[in-house]
Structure 1
Amino acid sequence: MSNLYLVTDSEICAQAGHTVSQVVEEACRAGVRWVQLREKTVTTHAFIELGFEVRQITQAYGAKLIVNDRVDVALAVDADGVHVGQDDMPPALVRQLIGPGKVIGLSINSLLELQLAREVEVDYLGVATIFPTGTKQDTSSLLGLSGLREICQQTKLPTFAIGGINASNIRDVIRAGATGAAVVSAICGHPNPYEASKELIQLAIT
């Protein structure tokens, strides 16, 4: 399975002339098998409608659909899992709601949060923030490659690094020990999401 993880952003997609569904389709066609649907501003109704659209695409390509934060939306569209941050619903409660067969991802931003994560049942970690990025305004605690390497060395869980990752640095992220890389702008904001995804996948495995 590809170790490239697409995290959607409808505003960045729109600025590049794409819809979220178009970007997901092109990314999955290129080989992406992890898609996180992240919508912070739309109504619940619109989020669910988009979720059903994206779910059809991910199912067609055998990709996993993870919903950011919204357990209700994930349940409504029968997503493969939920990704939560430190301030979202606790993973233990997420597990109670979505059941044992679904995936739970947890964002961590420090070694302390990694230590606390050992007390909860999650399936993978999203490790942030690696490099400066326009999609995450609070980058006061950038980990950099050294911080990423330290976290990866201290966990056996799969780790997806995120934050400012693109074609110029994705190899460094994988070499630092990350299982994979999660990207937003590098695909959503690219004129050709298919070609961008293909390039990133190739770089991540070489």
Structure 2
Amino acid sequence: MRINPLFPYPLYLVISERDCYPQNWLNVAEEAIIGGVDLIQLREKADDPATFLDKAIRLKKLTDHYGIPLVINDAVAIAAQIEAWGVHVGQNDFQPLAIREKYGDKLTIGWSIEDMQQLESQQMYAVDHLGVSPIFSTKTKVDTVTEWGIAGLKQLRSRTEKPLIAIGRMNLQTAEETWNAGADSIAVVSAICQSQDPRAASAQLKELLK
């Protein structure tokens, strides 16, 4: 398996309660970890802060038990409060330089990149890895600018050494080609969260990345 030492987490699960319904989202998370998921991001766009915090605490207990990193989407203060491994932010969220200034090296920072010009942004100095979103358009993320495609991912790979996390319709049909195009990690939502067997789905995806 090709592993980037700067981001040694090839299979990345992005989870929310809604995306897992009608299954229990925490059960899905645990089954996915057992199946081979290397890192989990909690993304709950609609939750109020108290509900998000409660979920984050519960998921952190699970990820700590299995020894895998937890990333919190957008909610930087919650990520810091629960001592999450990292945070992932978009172009319109709390920006990486401000996060680094406030929290130092306490949080690993992922940043969603939407076009090539953003590689020239000053924010890149504070970014640890990039979310390339979406590779292919998807119903789970509608507020996107660029559909990168495989060609766009390859071009991005040629222009930066930052670890690249590919997201957007990643499944058994698309993950291997995306991985071979230079992604350092494949971020999955529906292919695991909506699977009747999240453990098996995770294991199958992980096998493709070898």
* Segment drifting more, 89-98 vs 164-173: 89-98
1:46-195 matches, cutoff 5 A: 46-116=51-121, 119-138=124-143, 141-195=146-200
Residue 95 of structure 1 deviates from its aligned partner by 1.4
Residue 12 of structure 1 deviates from its aligned partner by 1.7
Q: What is the total number of aligned residue pairs between the two structures?
A: 203
> Are the counterparts in 2 of residues 71 and 98 from structure 1 also a CA contact under 8 Å?
no
Residue 117 of structure 1 deviates from its aligned partner by 5.9
Q: Can you list the C-alpha shifts for 1:68-123, whole angstroms capped at 9, x where unaligned?
A: 01011112211111111011111011112332142100000111112226742111
TM-score by length of 2: 0.91
> Are the counterparts in 1 of residues 166 and 178 from structure 2 also a CA contact under 8 Å?
yes
| Structure-2 change in CA distance of 1:145 and 1:159 (3 Å) | same
SS of match in other structure, 1:137: coil
TM-score by length of 1: 0.93
Partner of 1:32: 37
| Structure-2 change in CA distance of 1:64 and 1:40 (3 Å) | same
**Unmatched segments (≥5 aa) in structure 2:** 1-7
Q: In 1, distance between residues paired with 2:9 and 2:95?
A: 28
SS of match in other structure, 1:186: helix
Q: In 2, distance between residues paired with 1:63 and 1:172?
A: 25
Partner of 2:3: none
| Structure-2 change in CA distance of 1:101 and 1:72 (3 Å) | closer
Partner of 1:4: 11
SS of match in other structure, 2:125: coil
> Are the counterparts in 1 of residues 44 and 52 from structure 2 also a CA contact under 8 Å?
yes
| Structure-2 change in CA distance of 1:123 and 1:140 (3 Å) | closer
| Structure-2 change in CA distance of 1:75 and 1:158 (3 Å) | same
> Are the counterparts in 1 of residues 96 and 123 from structure 2 also a CA contact under 8 Å?
no
Q: Which of residues 198, 202, 206 in structure 2 aligns to 1:201? A: 206
> Are the counterparts in 2 of residues 2 and 201 from structure 1 also a CA contact under 8 Å?
no
How many percent of aligned residue pairs carry the same amino acid? 38
| Structure-2 change in CA distance of 1:21 and 1:98 (3 Å) | farther
> Are the counterparts in 1 of residues 114 and 144 from structure 2 also a CA contact under 8 Å?
no
* Segment drifting more, 178-187 vs 112-121: 112-121
Residue 7 of structure 1 deviates from its aligned partner by 0.5
